[in-house]
Amino acid sequence: MKIVIAIVVVAALGAVAGAIWVGAGSFERTVVADPYDSGIHHDADRKRAQALGWNVVVDESSLRAGREAALTVKLTGKDGAPIDDAQVLFRVSRAGTSRFDCSSPATPSGGGWYGAVLPLTEPGFWDLDVVVRRGGESLTLGRWIHVAGEVGEGVHCDAGLRACAAEAGGVRVVLELSPRPPAPLKEIDAAVQLTRGGEPVAGAEVAVELSMPGMFMGDDRIPLRAAGAGRYAGKGALLRCASGRRDWVAEVVIRLAGGGETRARFPFLAAE
């Protein structure tokens, strides 16, 4: 009996060690205490905001990567009139990592406008939560914001309809998804072309992570394999959202051969 117990203990320790080794080689991810509840909460807040007539419009014109950015939003009510008497907090993050998480109270400037300075250091798409407290109501309104690079990279593009390009960490990333648009519960082909200074980037570890802003949809990740000349390809599947939403983000996660990780985010609409 003692021998059997010893074998079980050794096997368990081996499994733990294996899990630690695998975890050390995996991509960093944001850990959410209750992701399902978080997604339901965001959806409920969105519906409540629609009932109240509250709307948030983000001014992205001055957002540039590599320095602190002045983020401003306009908050209006059901009749379109500006809301100036709310308490507002901004929270920004990027999917798949907690490294860029930051929050700041926003200051009202009149006409429904609220602003704060935040360190938006990377180009591409970010998740913005605008937390609004007013008259006993407390809602979190989620938005995408686009942070341009210093040379204006990262054009808005629906990756579900065409090949889209962005600059990330000095690497040009081109993403292609097919079919166009991708359909829920069906196979997706994902291909990524990486270049730096016009030359193919070889030896990278590349994956495409599929997520829905404000709604946890499970771990939907497509690992890509090198296909030569800086091209990486793989197959996966897109989940279906029970609420009927079709707005997704495909985030290309790149671990370079010489060290370092960079990401590029591409929004797209799935087929109905």
| Residue 199 belongs to domain with CATH number | 2.60.40.1930
Residue 6 lies in a domain: no
Domain hosting residue 241, numbered range = 164-269
* Window from 206-215, 219-228, 245-254 with minimum mean pLDDT: 206-215
Query: What's the chain's length in residues?
Result: 272
Q: What is the dihedral of CA 94, 118, 151, 164, to 10 degrees?
A: 20
5 has pLDDT over 50: no
Q: Does residue 115 fall inside a structural domain?
A: yes
Integer Cα distance of 253 and 251 in angstroms: 6
Is omega for the bond preceding 181 within 30 degrees of 0, making it cis?
yes
Q: Are residues 244 and 205 in the same domain?
A: yes
Omega prior to 105 cis, within 30 of 0: no
Most confident listed range (13-17, 50-54, 143-147, 149-153):
50-54
The whole-number pLDDT of residue 4 equals: 41
Q: How far apart are CA 40 and CA 42, in angstroms?
A: 6
Residue 14 lies in a domain: no
Q: Are the C-beta atoms of residues 217 and 241 closer than 8 Å to each other?
A: yes
Determine the pLDDT at residue 151.
42
Give the chain's mean pLDDT. Answer: 80
Which residue has better confidence, 123 or 86?
Answer: 86
Q: How confident is the model at residue 17 (pLDDT cuts 50, 70, 90)?
A: very low
d(C-alpha 35, C-alpha 224), whole Å: 26
The confidence score (pLDDT) of residue 21 equals 30
Residues 41 and 141 occupy one common structural domain: yes
Which tokens go with 59? 């001014």
Domain boundary among 118, 147, 176: 147
pLDDT in tens, 41-77: 667 888 888 899 999 988 877 777 766 778 999 999 9
**For residue 229, is it within any domain?**
yes
Is residue 16 included in any domain, yes or no?
A: no
* Total number of domains in the chain: 2
pLDDT surpasses 60 at 37: no
Residue at a domain's end among 119, 147, 175: 147
Task: Please indicate, yes or no, if residue 226 is contained in any of the structural domains.
Answer: yes
Reported as a pLDDT band with limits 50, 70 and 90, residue 40 is: low
Q: Between residues 92 and 11, which one has the greater pLDDT?
A: 92
pLDDT for residue 251: 93
pLDDT on residue 61: 74
Same domain, 219 and 261: yes
